[in-house]
């Protein structure tokens, strides 16, 4: 039997024993994280459970598309830590890495509750009793879709819409290199259930306020090119956030803009936080004959700074002042690109 199907069954058996599973995802949650939490809550409720979906951070303004669903409580706000005592299991979506679960790391490490992880990332160090891992899946929501279909669980309209959002956002609206026939097929089937793609698109991408566009203008003006224009580096400091009235969450997707330059193969965005390390995101283009002759693994680059992610999309948190971190990261990526270039020529 296909090991993935075995994993679906084993995780479903585990989940069936849980009356009040705690549903978690990563810090700085994205569309796939919220989508997984909303959809899993719906699916498990329909199985008779009473799941508690919790987010470490409030819904970012860029994801107001989720405001139409029952809210996901924020840990320490709507959901006090004591509420977690009533849970009898933990299901973690879209991450398996301790450094993305920091607000509950101590609690989770001390917990004896059964733990299920559903994820599509390569980087993973959190142990679990049941795992559904599909690194080839475009989104955790896509795994959730296949899991539900395999188990014969019906998708409610909210579950279907949440899954669509997760797939659509993780693939950059079906444009990134993870846009597989499988992702398109699932999206088509979900659309056939009554989820209108244009409704989702408008709610996702046409609801910004002016501050976000001003932030985009400010961040794009910081662009620096290195490594024979193959590397683009953007940065944003706290002064800029304050001036345009935007927050860290508003930087979402800005990192993709420099990839519109023909010569650029890697894009980096550095964001200064109010306190703590600089948040650094990495993106790389897929090789394409005549257009992109390099294949840069940004997950490996991020790992060199203690981060992780996917081959074409990764992130890290790096201690230090913004200009210093920028120099460090620029030099590191430039070296990787030059090494890849040298390897290609030899």
The answer to whether 250 contacts Mn ion (rule: CB under 5 A) is no
Residue nearest to Mn ion (CB): 32
Pick 25 or 240: Cβ nearer Mn ion: 25
| Cα gap 269→280, rounded to integer Å | 6
- Range in contact with Mn ion (rule: CB under 5 A) among 71-79, 86-94, 312-320, 324-332: 86-94
Q: Which is nearer to Mn ion, 55 or 140 (CB)?
A: 140
Q: Are 165 and 195 in contact (CB under 8 A)?
A: no
**Which residues sit opposite 281 in a β-bridge?**
269, 315
Binding segment for Mn ion (CB under 5 A), chosen from 165-173, 228-236, 256-264, 295-303, is 165-173
Instruction: Name 186's Cβ contacts closer than 8 Å, sequence gap at least 6.
Output: 142, 145, 146, 163, 167
* Binding residue for Mn ion, selected from 25, 117, 144, 170, defined by CB under 5 A: 170
Q: Least distance (Å) from Mn ion to the CB of residue 11?
A: 17
DSSP letters spanning 252-310:
TTGGGGGGGSTT--EEEEEE--SSSSEEEEEEEPPPBTTTB-----HHHHHHTTT-EE-
Name the residue nearer to Mn ion (CB basis): 171 or 240: 171
Nearer to Mn ion, 116 or 227 (CB): 116
Nearer to Mn ion, 138 or 254 (CB): 138
170 or 252: CB nearest Mn ion: 170
Q: Interaction with Mn ion in 130-159: which residues (CB under 5 A)? A: 139-140
Binding-residue total with Mn ion (CB under 5 A): 5
What's the min distance (Å) between Cβ of 140 and Mn ion?
5
**Which helix H or strand E contains 234, and what residues bound it?**
strand 231-236
Beta carbon nearer to Mn ion, 244 or 302: 302
Residue 252 makes contact with Mn ion by CB under 5 A: no
Span near Mn ion by CB under 5 A; candidates 27-35, 149-157, 191-199, 230-238: 27-35
The counts of H helices and E strands in the chain are: 11, 12
Residue 94 CB, nearest distance to Mn ion (Å)?
Answer: 4
Contacts (Cβ under 8 Å, ≥6 apart) of 42: 155, 156, 158, 159, 162
What's the distance, CA 160 to chain centroid?
19
- Coil, strand or helix at 332: helix
* Cα radius of gyration rounded to whole Å, the chain: 20
Pick from 291, 283, 273: which is nearest to 315 by CA?
283
Residues 238, 244, 248: CA angle, nearest 5 degrees: 50
Distance CA 166, CA 93 (A): 12
Sheet of 89-93, strand order: 73-74, 52-55, 21-24, 89-93, 115-119, 130-133
Q: How far is the CB of 9 from Mn ion (least distance, A)?
A: 23
Stretch that binds Mn ion, among 169-177, 215-223, 260-268, 280-288 (CB under 5 A): 169-177
Q: Is 32 in the site for Mn ion (CB under 5 A)?
A: yes
Minimal distance, residue 170 CB to Mn ion, in Å: 5
Q: 94, 250, 257, 272: which one contacts Mn ion (CB under 5 A)?
A: 94
Residues 97-136: x/- map of binding to Mn ion (CB under 5 A)? ----------------------------------------
**Strand pairing category for 89-93 and 115-119:** parallel
Q: Which residue lies nearer to Mn ion by CB, 144 or 219?
A: 144
CB 305 within 8 A of CB 315: no
Q: How far is the CB of 246 from Mn ion (least distance, A)?
A: 24
Binding site for Mn ion (CB under 5 A): 32, 94, 139-140, 170
């Amino acid at each position: 039997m296909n090991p993935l199907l075995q994993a679906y069954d084993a995780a479903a058996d585990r989940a069936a024993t849980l009356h009040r599973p705690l549903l978690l995802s990563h810090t700085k949650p994205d569309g796939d994280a919220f989508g997984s939490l909303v959809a899993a809550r719906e699916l498990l409720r329909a199985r008779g459970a009473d799941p508690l979906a919790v987010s470490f951070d409030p819904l970012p303004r860029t994801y107001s598309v989720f405001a139409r669903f029952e809210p996901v409580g924020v840990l320490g706000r709507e959901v006090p830590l004591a509420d977690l005592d009533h849970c009898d299991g933990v299901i973690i979506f879209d991450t398996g890495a301790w450094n993305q679960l920091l607000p509950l790391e101590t609690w989770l490490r001390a917990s004896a509750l059964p733990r299920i992880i559903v994820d599509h990332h390569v980087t993973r160090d959190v142990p679990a009793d049941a795992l559904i891992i599909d690194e080839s899946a475009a989104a955790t929501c896509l795994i959730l879709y296949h899991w539900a279909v395999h188990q014969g669980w019906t998708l409610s309209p909210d579950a279907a819409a949440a899954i669509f959002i997760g797939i659509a956002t993780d693939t950059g609206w079906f444009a990134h290199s993870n846009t597989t026939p499988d992702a398109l097929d699932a999206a088509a089937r979900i659309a056939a259930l009554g989820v209108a793609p244009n409704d989702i698109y408008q709610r996702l991408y046409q609801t910004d306020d002016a501050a976000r566009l001003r932030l985009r203008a400010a961040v794009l003006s910081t662009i620096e090119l290195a490594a024979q224009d193959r590397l683009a580096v953007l940065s944003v400091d706290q002064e800029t956030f304050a001036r345009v009235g935007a927050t860290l969450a508003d930087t979402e997707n800005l990192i993709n803009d420099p990839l519109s330059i023909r010569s650029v193969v890697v894009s980096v965005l550095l964001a200064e936080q109010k306190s703590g390390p600089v948040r650094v995101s990495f993106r790389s283009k897929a090789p394409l004959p005549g257009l992109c002759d390099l294949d840069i693994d940004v997950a490996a680059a991020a790992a060199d700074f203690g981060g992780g992610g996917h081959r074409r999309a990764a992130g890290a948190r790096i201690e230090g002042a913004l200009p210093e971190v920028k120099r460090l990261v620029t030099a590191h990526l430039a070296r990787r690109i030059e090494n890849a270039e040298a390897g290609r020529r030899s």
